[in-house]
Amino acid sequence: MFSKVMIANRGEIAVRVIKTCARLGIKTVVVYSDADAGSLAVEMADEAVRIGPPPAAESYLDIDKIIAAVKATGAEAVHPGFGFLSENPKFAERLKAEGVAFVGPNTAAIEAMGDKIASKKVAADAGVSVVPGHIGEIADAGEAVKIASEIGFPVMIKASAGGGGKGMRVAWDAKEAKEGFQSARNEAKSAFGDERIFIEKFIEQPRHIEIQVLGDKHGSVVHLGERECSIQRRNQKVIEEAPSPFLDSKTRKAMGEQAVALAAAVDYDSAGTVEFIVDKEKRFYFLEMNTRLQVEHPVSEMITGLDLVEQMLRVAAGEKLKLAQKDVKFDGWAVETRIYAEDPYRGFLPSIGRLSRFRPPAEGDNGFGVVRVDTGVVEGDQISLFYDPMIAKLATHGDDRAAAIDSMLAALDLFDIAGIQDNTPFLSAVCGQKRFRDGALTTGYIAEEFPDGFSGVAPGALDRRMMIAAAAFAHVTAVRRAARATGAVAVSHDLEREDWVALFNGERAAITVAIDELGATIDFPKRRGARLETQWRPGERVFSGELDGVPFSLILDPANEGYDVRRRGARERIIVCRPRAAELRASLPEKVAADTGKFVTSPMPGLVVSVAVAEGQDIKAGEALLVVEAMKMENVIRAERDGVVKAVAAAPGASVAADELLIEFE
Ligand code: ADP
Ligand code: ADP
Ligand code: MG
């Protein structure tokens, strides 16, 4: 085994690899850009080497700098993580030439699988079922239309060099095929510097189900079962799980065997993933193979009990796999959610800034199942626009799917993030939906369930009572403390019942609250004598307790007036006041809605990709105005109100700063 390993990556995956190395007694070196100088990975690694300024092209993608760092530190092997150089055959070859082990498969396997057209040919030859289509390069839009009609609409137009959901278009007719060919080709050219396009059948109501494989340098390959990753937004995974709620043992076995056959065909000698698209009849088709560790590998680890990074290190060092297919056992169910620095309420725009608060839930058993947190950030970190917006992964394992989901919901309730926007309310909303719990997933799930974007969920009656109880307890506690401090009431645990009014979402509820040492007894309009038990103390943002014996947690954020309370995807401003104050408020004129302004500004620094509107154009709220690229994502900026465009201040190709003027309305 190696004694020193370098990690050529950043963020949570760098930390993930360091943890396993530390457990195995392997020394670690991490490389970092200036943006990551104070990062958790740098702090945890035994050694850290600066490799350049923040842009990835000048740091994490610069092969020469990384090779220099390997030599300077004497690392014997490099783990590439995912993204960056993980699937770059030139990088693997350079390491080989330097006598350094690449913790990944052989170069020929990377090359064979790195190209979608080439890999589909290898797969078809290995007896793997591939998506029906034209396995070859399409010359022009005319040929695209002809081939699309032969395959039969709908079709998927794809970049052969594609990845990360880019360079991909669905076409339902000839016109869309023509347009889709052009736009996929443009996107592929700019994203991958490779404009080769092919076309395959678009599988309807598809599920994305992938098989984890593991091979060694001695001819053994096993699979570690499947992961279902159908919950995607714009072809990028958001929630993953293992096993899949859809597969039966026969289909699972057939998919596993085909994945192993494909891996064996390229002498696969590391951890890798064979991705399939599965239709509603459980027919499955090969999509692509990712020749690296996958973001969502924790769910496979949780159901198999294996450490995939350890397995990768062992096989890279030349060890034989110690397990045969029959030794691979599955236990329980695991779910993973990806925590992104993005604003779900504003079209999932990336959110950058300082993480003034970052407190993940505790790892270990949370009463429903076991929680695992993979993250590369700590409180106080700056989230920059240079890299992927994923800041953490939250995974839970339960005896069955329901337990894993319950554990996830409970863990999300405790995830305390402030300073930037994050997608935890959205993740809670999805995990709480009946359709999700029923396992009725397809890759269109998010688009179908949230056609107009995400605007939060309306809390159910019990959740609403929990939210009010927390706000009332916090408010009444604060009022009593203040009164005691000024000597207005005697210091005693008076169990006095007081009348209050809770105002929320335009509604009002008359409640009574009697605080005691263990919590409070609260009369709600429809639930008299509800019992709240809590250890909460003023100043804590996570409010945990039990309401009528049901444990709950929520985020309680003091606002200018009242509290912003977040739970299970619901977000409400709750104001608790005296009945008299509530009456006075009611007699005050309604506040006029704030003018959303005549100016549309860029929510983050980025690059203007395209502008969809022109001067004088009539715009309806919600209409797309322009696309700004940041954090490797294209973000659609939409109109927040109706209006007529007076001036367009941004042109495609322009770099814009945060808050820079993009469009002015009349
Ligand atoms: P797929 O390529 O099929 O979407 P994954 O879902 O496993 O596979 O995603 C891998 C992606 O993770 C990379 O393509 C990249 O966009 C992203 N990524 C790369 N490096 C990092 C990183 N350090 N932290 C978080 N995400 C990263
Ligand atoms: P990438 O390299 O970007 O990960 P993939 O080929 O793995 O590209 O496709 C990404 C996603 O796009 C899949 O998970 C699936 O949701 C969707 N997709 C790809 N090909 C098809 C297809 N032929 N039919 C339906 N959906 C598809
Ligand atoms: Mg993929």
Residue 411 has pLDDT above 90, yes or no: yes
> So what's the pLDDT on residue 628?
86
Residues of the chain with CATH 3.30.700.30: 461-586
Write out the catalytic residue numbers: 288
| Ordered strands of the 606-611 beta sheet | 633-638, 624-630, 606-611, 655-656
- In 3D space, the residue among 426, 371, 414, 377 whose CA is nearest the CA of residue 394 turns out to be 371
Q: Residue 491: its pLDDT value, please?
A: 46
- Determine the pLDDT at residue 591: 56
| Ligand that comes closest to the CA of residue 188 | 2
What's the pLDDT score for residue 370? 98
- Confirm or reject: Cβ of 208 under 6 Å from ligand 2: yes
pLDDT score recorded for residue 166: 86
Q: Based on the number of CB atoms within 10 Å of its own CB, is 345 exposed (0-12), middle (13-18) or buried (19 or more)?
A: middle
| Per-residue pLDDT tens digits for 612-662 | 999 999 988 878 898 888 876 777 888 878 889 999 988 888 888 877 889
431 compared with 164, residue with greater pLDDT: 431
- Identify the residue whose C-alpha is closest to ligand 2 atom 11: 235
- The bound ligand whose nearest atom lies closest to the alpha carbon of 295 is 1
**Location of each CATH 3.30.1490.20 domain in the chain:** 132-201
Whether 17 has a pLDDT exceeding 70, the answer reads yes
Please determine, for residue 477, whether its predicted confidence score (pLDDT) is greater than 50: yes
Nearest CA to ligand 1 atom 9: 295
pLDDT digits (tens, 9 = 90+) for 111-142: 999 999 999 999 999 999 999 999 999 999 99
Cα 235 to ligand 2 centre (Å): 6
Question: From the CA of 123, how far away is ligand 1's center (Å)?
Answer: 23
235 CA to middle of ligand 3, Å? 8
Instruction: Tell me: pLDDT of 298 over 70.
Output: yes
Nearest to 229 by CA among 296, 286, 301: 296
Ligand nearest to the CA of 208: 2
User: Per DSSP, what are the bridge partners of residue 663?
Assistant: 600, 648
Asked whether the predicted pLDDT for residue 341 surpasses 90, the reply is yes
165: which 2 tokens?
A: 């959901």
Ligand 3: centre distance to CA 9 (Å): 20
**DSSP-derived secondary structure for 376-398:** S--TTPEEPSSS-SEEEEEEEEE
Q: Which atom of ligand 2 is nearest to the CA of 443?
A: 16
Tokens found for residue 300: 């496979």
Residues 56-84 have a mean pLDDT of: 97
Q: Does the Cβ of 246 fall within 6 Å of ligand 1?
A: no
Angstrom CA distances, 507 to 95, 126, 133, 255, 431, stand at: 65, 64, 56, 53, 27
Distance 229 CA to ligand 2 centre (A): 11
pLDDT, mean over the chain: 94
Q: Is 83 in the pocket of ligand 1 (CB under 6 A)?
A: yes
Q: How far from the centroid of its chain's Cα atoms is residue 108's Cα? A: 31
Is domain 461-586 classified as CATH 3.30.700.30? yes
Question: In whole angstroms, how large is the CA radius of gyration of the chain?
Answer: 27
Measuring from atom 12 of ligand 2, which residue has the nearest CA?
235
The structural architecture, per CATH, of the domain 599-665 is: Beta Barrel (2.40)
**Residue among 13, 42, 82 to mutate when testing ligand 1 (max atoms within 8 A of CB):** 82
Under 8 Å between Cβ of 381 and 10: no
| Statement: residue 305 has pLDDT above 90 | yes
Chain centroid offset of residue 150 CA: 37
- Check pLDDT > 50 for residue 364: yes
Residues of the chain with CATH 3.40.50.20: 4-103
Q: Are 34 and 53 in contact (CB under 8 A)?
A: yes
Q: Provide the percentage of residues in the chain whose pLDDT is more than 90.
A: 82
The total of other beta-carbon atoms located within 10 Å of residue 482's CB is 11
Report pLDDT for 659.
78
User: In terms of CATH architecture, what is 132-201?
Assistant: 2-Layer Sandwich (3.30)
Element containing residue 544 per DSSP (H, E) = strand 542-547
With a cut of 80, say whether residue 594 has pLDDT above it.
no
Taking the CA of residue 149 as centre, how many other CA atoms within 13 Å lie in the half-sphere pointing to its CB?
8
Q: Confirm if 391 and 414 have CB atoms less than 8 A apart.
A: no
d(CA 615, CA 626): 13
Q: Is the peptide bond before 243 cis (omega within 30 degrees of 0)?
A: yes
Report how far ligand 3's centroid is from the alpha carbon of 177 (Å): 21
What pLDDT shows up at residue 487? 66
Amino acid at 19: K
411: enclosing H helix or E strand: helix 401-414
User: What burial letters (b/e) apply to 357-372, b meaning 16+ CB within 10 Å?
Assistant: ebebbeeeebebbbbb
- Whether ligand 2 lies within 6 angstroms of the CB of 154 is answered as no
What count of other Cβ atoms lies within 10 Å of the Cβ of residue 96? 13
Pocket test for ligand 1, best of 87, 295, 296 (most atoms within 8 A of CB): 295
Which of 233-242, 431-440, 649-658 shows the lowest mean pLDDT across its residues? 649-658
Q: What is the pLDDT of residue 494?
A: 52
User: Tokens at residue 112, please?
Assistant: 């064979």
Nearest ligand 2 atom, CA 116 = 6
> Is the CB of 9 within 6 Å of ligand 1?
yes
Residue 229 CA: nearest ligand 2 atom is 14
Nearest partner of 658 among 601, 593, 614, 612, judged by Cα? 601
Q: What is the mean pLDDT of residues 392-409?
A: 98
pLDDT-based confidence at residue 607 (cuts at 50, 70, 90)? confident
Residue 489 has pLDDT above 90, yes or no: no
Residue 474 pLDDT > 90, yes or no?
yes
Residue ranges, comma separated, of all CATH 2.40.50.100 domains in the chain are 599-665
Both tokens assigned to 136: 């070859």
Alpha carbon of 452 to ligand 2 centroid (Å): 23
Q: Is the shortest distance between the CB of 164 and ligand 1 below 6 Å?
A: yes
pLDDT at 595: 55
Fold of 4-103: Rossmann fold (3.40.50)
Is residue 23 exposed (0-12), middle (13-18) or buried (19+ Cβ within 10 Å)?
Answer: exposed
What is the CA(639)–ligand 2 centre distance, in A?
30
191: confidence class by pLDDT, cuts 50, 70, 90: confident
How many CB atoms neighbour CB 479 within 10 A? 18
Residue 107 — φ and ψ, nearest 5°? -60, -40
Q: How far apart are CA 237 and CA 483, in angstroms?
A: 52
Residue 617: enclosing H or E segment and its boundaries? none
520-548 mean pLDDT = 96
Query: For position 197, what pLDDT does the model report?
Result: 96
Per the CB < 8 A criterion, the answer to whether 660 and 602 are in contact is yes
Q: Which ligand is nearest to the CA of 199?
A: 2
277 lines ligand 2 (CB under 6 A): yes
Q: Is the CB of 83 under 6 A from ligand 2?
A: no
Ligand nearest to the backbone CA of 278: 2
